[in-house]
Amino acid sequence: MAAAKGPRAANGAESFDYLIVGAGSAGCVLANRLSADANTRVGLIEAGPSDKRLLVRIPAAVAAAIGDPAIGWGYKSVPQRHLNNRRIPLPRGRVLGGCSSINGMAYFRGHPRDFDEWAEAGASGWSYEDVLPYFRRAENNETWPESRYHGSGGPMNVLDIRQPNPLVARFLEATSSLGFARCEDFNGPDPEGFGCRQATIRRGRRESMVTAYVDPIAHRQNLAIYTESLVTEIVIDDCGQAQFAGRYGGGGDSALQWRADHGIDRGTGGQAAGGGLGLPGSVGAKREVALPAEAVFG
């Protein structure tokens, strides 16, 4: 658990302008962007441990990372009656970086048509052309640095698998012989067909959202990172300030308190619903908010 870098409130709680509950992919990006303002105090809270472990960093260890109970939530489906009532594992990262620290490192953005359909359905600002600049901004694509669909110099390194399994070439030959289309770039304008995927890897190591967005700025004095710290309660007072309660389980089980003066982000993932809080997946009065891509990616 990081040492606190924010002042204490009157009740002893660590005080921040913004608290991010869950250091998964979204939480890591938010920690980077919000703490860019040196006058903004940001706390990033993760229930799991640090990502500094071999199973996380070595790409070839991905199967072991996904199955490691020390860095996963251990979710399973309900019994599946068409699968002899087996419960299917649903891997979700419980570690700094969340699922980006245990996933298969496959880089897929989604089909351009999906974004266009969102815009057509009323999500203004979410068409493919609207979001493409932000995808490019995030990338340092070693293979396609000059492509209009990719970026260079961004925080997240993306590359082609340099030594794919020889069976991949045989498989692609077979698909071509059957008349199926080849796809050279699954993050281009027409990502349909068969081909080799790209991966989020940097210098032979996994590129997670921690290595891309948090490690380069972890020295910031206005950013505090808490690991093995589970938020169990959020209370919002009449002034709109949020009081957090939780516990630190690293080598013990001590109580923790935080306060957010301006904002909360619950970056705890969709499958978790309450995000480990034991609470519904929302805070405050229910209302629908449609944000443009610029407000999310900035």
Q: Is the dihedral of CA 263, 269, 273, 278 positive or negative?
A: negative
Most confident of 13-17, 244-248, 279-283: 13-17
Residue 277 pLDDT greater than 60, yes or no = no
Place 230 in a pLDDT band, splitting at 50, 70 and 90.
confident
Residues 189 and 211 reside in one and the same domain: no
Residues 87 and 212 reside in one and the same domain: yes
DSSP class of residue 252 equals S
Q: Strands of 156-160's sheet, edge to edge?
A: 139-141, 156-160, 198-199
Residues 84 and 111 reside in one and the same domain: no
Residues 293 and 159 reside in one and the same domain: no
Residue 7: the pLDDT is 47
Nearest to 36 by CA among 188, 222, 237, 254: 222
Phi, psi of 135 (to 5 degrees): -60, -45
Cα separations (Å) of 16 from 75, 173, 258, 287?
Answer: 32, 56, 8, 25
Residues 211 and 99 reside in one and the same domain: yes
Indicate the SS3 state at residue 131.
helix
Single out the residue in 199, 225, 252 at which a domain terminates: 199
Q: Is the dihedral of CA 202, 205, 208, 212 positive or negative?
A: negative
CB of 228 closer than 8 Å to CB of 252: no
Residues 27 and 149 reside in one and the same domain: no
What's the pLDDT tens digit per position in 26-60? 999 999 999 999 999 999 999 999 999 999 999 99
Q: Which of 91-105, 249-263, 266-280 has the lowest mean pLDDT?
A: 266-280
Tokens of 214: 């948090």
Residues 10 and 82 reside in one and the same domain: yes
Residues 38 and 161 reside in one and the same domain: no
CB-neighbour burial class of residue 225 (10 A; exposed 0-12, middle 13-18, buried 19+): buried
Task: Supply the pTM of this predicted model.
Answer: 0.84
Range of the domain at 126: 106-199
CATH for 127: 1.10.1220.110
Residues 245 and 124 reside in one and the same domain: no
Residue range 10-29: mean pLDDT, rounded:
83
Question: What is the rounded CA–CA span in Å between residue 184 and residue 175?
Answer: 14
**More confident: 223 or 241:** 223
What's the pLDDT tens digit per position in 149-198? 999 999 999 999 988 999 999 999 999 999 999 999 999 999 999 999 99
